[in-house]
Structure formats: C-alpha cells, structure tokens
C-alpha cells in the first residue's frame, strides 16, 4: 500500500508542476528460436561497455540486410504520445510496418498501466493513431521509420533492397525506471493487475519473429529507443528516489540512473538474444531529458550523458530535447514535437545500422583552462559549430555556465566559436578549485521547457540531413556539467 501511495503521490506532483507551469507561461516553440540469418552476420558481440569492431570512422561495420528490422520503444508518457494529438502520419510512404493491433499492443489501459497484451496476428503498414489514452496520438515511431526509409532510398541504399522497420511500443505513462525494467515493480500490489512493460517487449520480439518466420522473411531486433527520465527526476526532487536498488541480475547494486541505463540495455540485449538467437547487439538509444521545471538543476540528463560515455555503442545519447515543440501543458511534446523527435532517432539509427558508424552527439571532448580562458573541444557530427540565438532564445551566455568551489565563481564575459569544433569561454578572473563548465544546465522553476524558456542553449552543428516533414535537423549540444582540466 505504501508503494502504491508513493507512486500516486509522484504522479500527482508531476501533474501539479505541469499545471502551474501552464498557468504561468506560454507553450515553448516549436533458448533460442532463430530465424534465418543472412550470411556473414556472425561477428562476435563486443564485451559490455566496449564498442567492438567497426565502430571507428575509418572502419565502418559492414551492412547486412534483413527483411524485418525491429525497433522496440519504451519510456514514459512522452514515449506513448501523451498530448500529441491529433495524429499526423496517416499513410505509409515506404514499406515500414507495425502489428495489426497497432504500434502499442497494450490494451485496457488507464493512468497506471495496461492490463492486457494483445497478441498480433499479422503485419500491416505503419501509421499513427493509437489510442493509448482516450484520444488518438502521434508517437515518434512513424517519424523515425519514415526518415530511415527516405535516407535509405535516396542516399544510403540506392539500388539495394529497402530497409524496412517494424516499430512496437511498450512505454507506460508516469513509470519510473523501477517499473519499466526487467521484472517490473511492486507499486500496484500483489498480484499486479497490470502487464510488465519489459515482458510486453519480449512478447513483441517473440511474436514478430514468429510472424517473420511464417512469411519467410529474415528478422533482427536492431535497437531499443527510450524517451524517459521525468518521473525519476521528480522522485529525486521529492525525496522519493528509488536508487540504490538491487540489480536485476541478483548480484549487483544499481546506484543511480546512469547505472540503470546500462542495466536496461544489458537486459534488453540478453532478452532479445535469448529469443532470436541473433548475434547482433541491441543498443539503447535515448533522448536526453531537458524538460524539468520544478527546481533549477536535474541529475537525470547528466546521468544519461554519463551512461553514453561509460558504454560506448551500447547506450547511445541521441541528443537533447529542448529544441522540440511542447504541448500546452508544458510537460509533454506536441504531435509535431513527437514526429520531429522521431526524425532525430532516425538519423542516429541510419548512421549506426546502415552506415555502420558510431554516433556522438554534440558534447565536450576536452575542456581545458589557461588563465581566464576555458577552451572546449566538441564532438561535432557535421562541422562547423554555430551559436544560434535565432532558433533557440539566448538564456544568457548562449547557455554556458561556469562553476567553482569558491562560492562566488568568475563570471563569463564572452562565449565564442573559434573553430569547427571549438568554443572559447572567457572569464572575468581566474577561477578557484573545482572548476566546471556547464551547458543548458539551469531551469527557471514553473516555466515551460523549449526554445523560449527552460534549460537550453544555442550551440549546434551544421547538419543538413533532409527531413520528410520540413523540420530542421541540426544537432544541438547536450546538457552537460564537465570538469575543467
């Protein structure tokens, strides 16, 4: 009972913050049963945390075709399109597919979960319009799949068989990591009246594999996507954090959200391989949370970045979320926001699984100090770097902040791009010990997230990847809090 009340309190508080924000600000801008394996697809899986062969820019991993490329999607309310209505993608321009029961097989759902996993019996063309709530929504699924289709057909796989995605979604509104992970949680009593999301994901894999096999098609699970973090953020700020928690392996301890992301990827990877017999690794692609608004700082986005750096090629940070269009509740994405997010996932997916190259978002590679000048070199997917205060309003110093342990750190007097991959930050005096450079790090409580307010910054690259929907697809710098050397 205590755990159930705790979950309800957390959900109510999140909604209260959203309502307060909505009343004070406007919406932000804008054992295995393998199916047929193609020849040459037996590369050994790299060790956990090791990117393995073929992940350096000069050694792309060879592309291997599959008829059905399955992407599992999970997360909380923003993963299932809460407030993202009406649906936008009502036709399928390529050959992407979903289950005949919809993108979301979970049914008989309410605010606490779904009571039934509806077993699919066929594949149908991928369109949006699932009723996870009491209205039809747009998720990121079709936006992702359709841009992958476009990039494959027009650029990366010209003259070759199409790269067709199956997307299925088992996210749950309001769920913390503890309830989404393998084995789920005990928040709802015993027996739990709701299906466990992770188990639904494994059912999706098993059912998709059987349907592909029956049709004589080759099948692989390529990745898991996650749009998540808000509920765990609010749990921390409310003093209800669930970490540390026992690991799902029965031996480890999950100390924080970064550990959790590594565990999540490991469990999906092992679960999928047990069902399919595939040797292809299953990375976790995650969107970085940028939409907290109850306190100035959040640990979740920096832990998401930490997971990316600790497990290269396994946990992959797609980019930040401050650039997307939010709905009027200042918490969830609009329908265009969801579809736009999908196209960012598509870029990362195409790079990793079609081009065979690793993905790095715009993030610091090295941060150094010389006197009063901080120099930050970045990973840049498509140089040069740009400080852009037109598409995202300037929160001050283009989103950069400086910290030291003095209690009164030096002030930033200038921020400049001084090379394709380099930013120079000038201070008004030499800093004390414990110097750190931060970006998109601070929220103004009870304001809407997005390009006009909320935690954000103005640093981006010059990516000109074409969109299916006239969106811009620059890569914006992620939220970070980095030591200065």
In the block, which residue shows the tokens 């037996």? 42
**pLDDT for the residue 58:** 62
Rounded to 10 degrees, the C-alpha dihedral 270/272/273/278 comes to: -150
**pLDDT for the residue 21:** 58
**pLDDT for the residue 249:** 97
Q: Is 482 strand, coil or helix? A: strand
pTM of the predicted model over 0.75: yes
**pLDDT for the residue 133:** 84
**pLDDT for the residue 31:** 32
**pLDDT for the residue 20:** 54
**pLDDT for the residue 411:** 98
**pLDDT for the residue 266:** 98
Phi and psi, residue 312, nearest 5°: -60, 130
Helix axis angle, 300-310 to 257-276, nearest 10°: 50
11-17 long-range CB contacts below 8 Å, 24 or more apart? 11/111, 11/174, 11/231, 13/234, 13/238, 14/174, 14/230, 14/231, 14/234, 14/331, 17/234, 17/293, 17/294, 17/331, 17/446
The stretches in the chain having pLDDT less than 50 are 1-6, 8-9, 12, 16, 23-56
Helix axis angle, 335-349 to 141-151, nearest 10°: 40
Residue 206, judged by CB atoms within 10 A of its CB (0-12, 13-18, 19+), counts as middle
């Amino acid at each position: 009972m205590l755990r159930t009340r705790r979950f309800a309190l957390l959900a109510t508080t999140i909604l209260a913050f959203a309502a307060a924000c909505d009343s004070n600000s406007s919406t932000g801008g804008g054992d295995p049963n393998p199916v047929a394996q193609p020849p040459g697809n037996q590369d050994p899986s790299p060790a956990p945390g090791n990117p393995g062969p073929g992940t350096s820019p000069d050694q792309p991993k060879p592309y291997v075709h599959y008829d059905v490329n399955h992407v599992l999607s999970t997360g909380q309310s923003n993963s299932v399109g809460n407030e993202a209505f009406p649906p936008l993608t009502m036709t399928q321009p390529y050959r992407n597919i979903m289950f005949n029961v919809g993108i979301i097989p979970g049914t008989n759902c309410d605010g606490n979960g779904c009571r039934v996993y509806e077993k699919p019996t066929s594949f149908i063309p991928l369109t949006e319009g699932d009723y996870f709530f009491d209205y039809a929504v747009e998720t990121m699924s079709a936006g992702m799949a359709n841009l992958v289709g476009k990039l494959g057909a027009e650029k990366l796989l010209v003259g070759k068989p199409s790269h067709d995605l199956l997307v299925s979604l088992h996210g749950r509104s309001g769920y913390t990591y503890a309830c989404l992970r393998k084995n789920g949680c005990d928040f709802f009593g015993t027996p739990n009246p709701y299906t466990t999301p992770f188990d639904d994901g494994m059912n999706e894999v098993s059912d998709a594999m059987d349907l592909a096999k029956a049709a004589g098609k080759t099948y692989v699970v390529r990745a898991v996507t996650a749009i998540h973090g808000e509920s765990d953020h609010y749990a921390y700020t409310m003093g209800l954090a669930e970490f540390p928690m026992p690991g799902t392996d029965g031996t480890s301890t999950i100390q924080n959200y970064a550990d959790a992301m590594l565990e999540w990827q490991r469990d999906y990877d092992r679960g999928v391989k047990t069902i399919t017999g595939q040797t292809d690794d299953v990375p976790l692609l995650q969107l970085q949370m940028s939409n907290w608004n109850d306190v100035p700082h959040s640990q979740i986005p920096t832990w998401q970045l930490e997971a990316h750096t600790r497990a290269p090629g396994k946990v992959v940070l797609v980019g930040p979320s401050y650039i997307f269009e939010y709905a009027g509740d200042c918490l969830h994405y609009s329908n265009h926001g969801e579809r736009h997010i999908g196209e960012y996932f598509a870029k990362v997916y195409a790079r990793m699984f079609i081009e065979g190259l690793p993905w790095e978002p715009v993030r610091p590679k090295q941060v150094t100090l010389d006197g009063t000048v901080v120099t930050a070199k970045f990973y840049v997917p498509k140089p040069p770097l740009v400080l852009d205060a037109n598409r995202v309003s300037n929160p001050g110093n283009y989103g950069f902040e400086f910290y030291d342990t003095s209690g009164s750190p030096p002030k930033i007097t200038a921020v400049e791009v001084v090379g394709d991959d380099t930013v120079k930050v000038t201070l008004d005096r030499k800093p004390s010990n414990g110097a750190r450079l931060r970006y998109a790090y601070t929220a103004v409580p009870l304001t809407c997230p997005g390009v006009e307010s909320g935690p954000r910054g103005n640093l981006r690259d010059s990516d000109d990847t074409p969109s299916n929907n006239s969106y811009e697809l620059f890569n914006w710098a992620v939220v970070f809090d980095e030591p200065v050397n």
